[in-house]
Amino acid sequence: MHNINQAPSAQSPKSSIPSPWGVGAGRFAPSPSGDLHFGNLRTAVLAWASARSSGRAFYMRVEDVDTQRSSHESACRQLEDLAQLGLDWDGDVLYQSTRFEAYEQALAQLPHYECYCSRKDIVHAASAPHSIPGQYPGTCRDLDEDERRRRRHALAQHNRVPALRLRADVEHWRIHDLYAGFVDGEVDDMILRRGGQDPDWAYNLAVVVDDAFQGIDQVVRGDDLLSSAPRQGYLAHLLGVEAPAFVHVPLVINTQGRRLAKRDGAVTFRDMEAQGGRGSVFPCIAASLGINARTPEELVEKFHVQSIPREPYVWRNRFPKP
């Protein structure tokens, strides 16, 4: 098995289903900003089952590049919950916080420029006529060197550094998703490294670099991330790596139609186990997929990624019946 950087407290359960190296891989990559809830756990099960049922390896990755929101304690709790749920993974856990040198190397391959805009500047510029909502309008793209030097100096007076943005040469990029088909998404001069006093690497860059590093060829994740896939596909193209096969799965929502959150009741793994007893959570996740299974091994025998429900699953603050 491939050995990846791992924190001493995050032990990988031994794989119980053979996943020969070299046939591709799937992954689950939570952000360690709190306990996983039913929706997160359901996506993790879908990613695991999609990999295992297709003979792929399965990796666990902690996306802790956001140093303001990430905590090692949260990462450990998440990994413990996933192991208790019955999921296993190959190799050791990959922590993005150990990968900054790799992101630096990728940055050097990408055309980019410094951006001195504040969030307020970007919001104001994006509201101008003919601008594309949510996209960076290129304010800093073509500044001359004297102006860059002036703005860089102004930031330095506050111990801040500028953000780094991709100099994109396309406005759209096409990817393919198993359920959505071909998706043409807008591409702008996206952030590669954030600015400020403690600059963090951007999610879009980190995820592409790490998927390539781990040999990920299947990405199963919530469909709220579908809009980011074209940007990631474009970055993969620029870095000379193949984009993975995308499978964006429906989310779990509450009865008001909003994405499930911890405020919706006892939805974390630990709360649910306290409510239903040890071993009660996995059968409920399987039931939400329309499968009667009490263990991951039983689920993967019955699982096919094409047959999962395509509509969001509505959480009604009670366990689905196995």
Say if residue 250 carries a ligand binding annotation: no
Would the annotation count 30 as a binding residue?
Answer: yes
31 is in an annotated binding site: yes
Determine the length of the chain: 322
Is 28 among the annotated ligand-binding positions? yes
In angstroms, the CA 110 to CA 192 distance is: 9
Do 209 and 201 contact (CB within 8 A), yes or no?
Answer: no
Q: Binding residue per annotation — 182?
A: no
- The verdict on whether residue 140 carries a ligand-binding annotation is yes
- Could you tell me the two tokens for 61? 């990755």
Residue 262 known to bind ligand: yes
Token pair for residue 157? 């007076």
Q: Is 27 annotated as a binding residue?
A: yes
Residue with tokens 């009670």: 318
Q: Using N-to-C axis directions, what is the helix angle for 281-288 and 269-276, rounded to 10°?
A: 110
CA distance 65 to 10: 18
Largest Cα span, the chain: 66
DSSP classification of residue 169: S
Q: How far is CA 42 from CA 38, 64, 222, 294, 308, in A?
A: 6, 21, 10, 14, 12
d(CA 275, CA 43): 21
47: Cβ contacts below 8 Å, ≥ 6 apart: 26, 27, 28, 58, 220, 221
Does 234 carry a binding-site annotation? no
**Which residue positions form the known binding site for Zn(2+)?**
115, 117, 136, 140
**Which residue positions form the known binding site?**
27-31, 63, 115, 117, 136, 140, 203, 221, 262
**Which residue positions form the known binding site for ATP?**
262
**Which residue positions form the known binding site for L-glutamate?**
27-31, 63, 203, 221
